[in-house]
Structure 1
Amino acid sequence: MRRLLAVLAAGLLTAAATQLPSYAVNQYTTVGNVPKPVACNNHGTIPAGGWLANKSCGYVMGTAIAGTRFDVHTTTPTNFHFGRWRAGDGSNFCAFLVPSALDLGTGSSVADSCSADTSERLSHRRTFGRDFDAAPHTGNGAIIVRINPSACTGYYNYFTDSTYAGGRLHDPAGFALPATGGYRYSTNDLGASMIRVDDASGETIWLFVARSCIAGQLPAGLNNQND
């Protein structure tokens, strides 16, 4: 009898565990014309929406386009938010969002979906990229590349899920690229490269281009150290 009761109790505990709801977090609508994070020694405005990064003051991994959604799991002392960005086309991935990029009057409760393990994994740059312009914690688009604006389009985003193993170019920038840009890194599948350019108003913008647009200009020996 005691053995039967123990088996029944274990079954009830297992059933209860599988039925526990996920921890709830707040989801907000993203905004545009976001101030660049002063904590990272950046100044100016990001017109399209807040930068998405691999950690506070880390590598830019995309832009949370205004009017999309972001689930806030945790917030750092410098007001970077870690959570899931949800693009308009269904793409979504975990990242850090710069401060002041959310409309805090639009909150709604959703299940959590970005773990502490994902945050830790994301903090290492080889998780999402390769062929960096410089060693870890240095460089900032230091390799200048020529751009053919008639053949190359800029996109604010590439990643589509939290494996960061591949993706597709999405969210076109909507302005003609200048003749040169500063190369930062390429995605692990070599589908895209992150570059910095200046828009017509003089704001420095980080965006993706197809790596094929600039591959012939990239030097040998790009940096693949992890951090």
Structure 2
Amino acid sequence: MRRLLAIAAAAVVLCGFSAPAHAVNQYTTIGNVPKPAACNNSGIMPAGGWLANKSCGYVMGTAIAGTQFDVHTTTANNFHFGRWRAGDGSNFCAFLVPGALDTSHSTSVASSCSDDTSERLSHRRTFGRDFDAAPHTGNGAIIVPINPSACTGYYNYFVDSNYASGSLHDPVGFALPAAGGYRYATNDLGAAMIRVDALGQTIWLFVARSCIAAQLPSGLNNEND
């Protein structure tokens, strides 16, 4: 009898370890997304909604229209936290702006973004360094010259939820203007986030940091928040 009870207990433990993660809804992303008024923005995001480190936080990329986003939680101001899945297989956890999803259809998938990841992501040194200004200030405050013939813009850089490295992907498809507003560099110094005026909008995008490194001032800010 004891042996049978031990086997039964072991089976319960094994079943517990093999239990799947709870399900969340996956949606397709759309383009021409209104910028979030809750963050004092106006205008349209033509390529898709911004991905950020928190509601009204730092832009970390763009959820290109036609890709997938797994919604884990939704904030009071309708930002969605979850996993963005790029067309090239890159994927990472982030917050997506409101109105960036086609909610007419969803697919059930396993959850894959934790509360710990959300908390870690809320601190800017998790994903970036050499910011233009102290925490909660700036927003592309350092204007840098750009050589459009040597620099290409990309909507995305991060490829996983370590945010430690990445690769430039999703080219913007338009020539960059002669200047842009620098925001931060990725932790591996592979890319820099800048804002430019293009397509009748203010667009946030990545360029290779080497494109603008010589134009950056010394003493960039590395305080965490």
Q: Is TM more than 0.5 here?
A: yes
Q: Which amino acid is 1:164 matched to?
A: Y
Deviation at 1:68, TM superposition (A): 0.2
1:157 equivalent in structure 2? 156
Distance 2:199 2:22 in 1: 44
Residue aligned with 2:214, SS? helix
1:80 equivalent in structure 2? 79
Superimposed CA distance per residue, residues 93-139 of structure 1 (whole angstroms, 9 cap, x where no aligned partner) = 00000000000012010000000000000000000000000001111
Distance 1:71 1:19 in 2: 22
Superposed, 1:1-227 pairs within 5 Å as 2=2, 4-5=3-4, 7-201=6-200, 203-227=201-225
Distance 1:124 1:134 in 2: 15
Distance 1:185 1:6 in 2: 59
Residue aligned with 2:193, SS? strand
Q: Which amino acid is 1:213 matched to?
A: C
Distance 1:17 1:162 in 2: 26
Deviation at 1:6, TM superposition (A): 5.2
Deviation at 1:10, TM superposition (A): 3.2
Residue aligned with 1:134, SS? coil
Distance 2:41 2:199 in 1: 18
Deviation at 1:63, TM superposition (A): 0.1
Deviation at 1:157, TM superposition (A): 0.1
TM-score (norm 1): 0.97
Residue aligned with 1:193, SS? strand
Superimposed CA distance per residue, residues 147-184 of structure 1 (whole angstroms, 9 cap, x where no aligned partner) = 00000000000000000000000000000000000000
Deviation at 1:18, TM superposition (A): 2.1
Count of matched residue pairs: 225
Distance 2:76 2:16 in 1: 33
Note the residue ranges of structure 1 that are not aligned, 5 or more in a row.
Answer: none
Q: Which amino acid is 2:93 matched to?
A: C
Superimposed CA distance per residue, residues 5-47 of structure 1 (whole angstroms, 9 cap, x where no aligned partner) = 5532431221111221210000000000000000000000000
Distance 1:6 1:207 in 2: 60
Distance 1:7 1:198 in 2: 68
**Alignment RMSD (CA, Å):** 0.9
Residue aligned with 1:78, SS? coil
Q: Higher mean Cα deviation, 15-24 or 89-98?
A: 15-24
> Which consecutive segments of 4 or more residues in structure 1 shift more than 4 A?
none
Distance 1:135 1:11 in 2: 54
Note the residue ranges of structure 2 that are not aligned, 5 or more in a row.
Answer: none
Residue aligned with 1:12, SS? helix
Distance 2:18 2:189 in 1: 41
Distance 2:54 2:66 in 1: 22
